[in-house]
């Protein structure tokens, strides 16, 4: 079943976004994702098939990106 995960994030620069893309694009349960850079919370929206929010938060923390669930 498809679901939408929304997270506050804090990418600091282009390299952070590039690293996020590597993590998210390689995850088998991520269907699509995008970041709203116009929002002050840099909202990360992930469409997934059963991905747990803690799993993605931990994956982002491992590459130095702060994230928390909305």
pLDDT at residue number 36: 94
Domain range for 50 is 2-69
Cβ count near 20 (within 10 Å): 20
pLDDT of 1 over the 80 cut: no
pLDDT at residue number 5: 96
Q: What is the CATH number of the domain that holds 44?
A: 3.30.70.100
The mean of the pLDDT values for the chain is 94
Per-residue pLDDT, averaged over 13-28, amounts to 94
For residues 30 and 39, give the distance between their C-alpha atoms in angstroms, rounded to a whole number.
22
pLDDT at residue number 42: 94
Per-residue pLDDT, averaged over 27-41, amounts to 94
The number of distinct structural domains making up the chain is 1
Full-model pTM: 0.90
Whether the Cβ atoms of residue 70 and residue 7 lie closer than 8 Å to each other: yes
65 phi/psi in degrees, rounded to 5: -105, 120
Residue of 62, 69, 4, 7 whose CA lies nearest to 30: 4
* Burial class, 48, CB count within 10 angstroms (exposed 0-12 / middle 13-18 / buried 19+): buried
């Amino acid at each position: 079943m498809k679901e939408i995960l929304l997270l506050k994030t804090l990418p600091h620069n282009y390299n952070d976004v590039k690293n996020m893309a590597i993590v998210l694009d390689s995850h088998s349960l991520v269907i699509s994702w995008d970041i709203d850079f116009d929002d002050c919370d840099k909202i990360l929206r992930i469409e997934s098939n059963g991905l747990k929010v803690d799993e993605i938060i931990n994956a982002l923390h491992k590459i130095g990106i702060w994230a928390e669930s909305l």
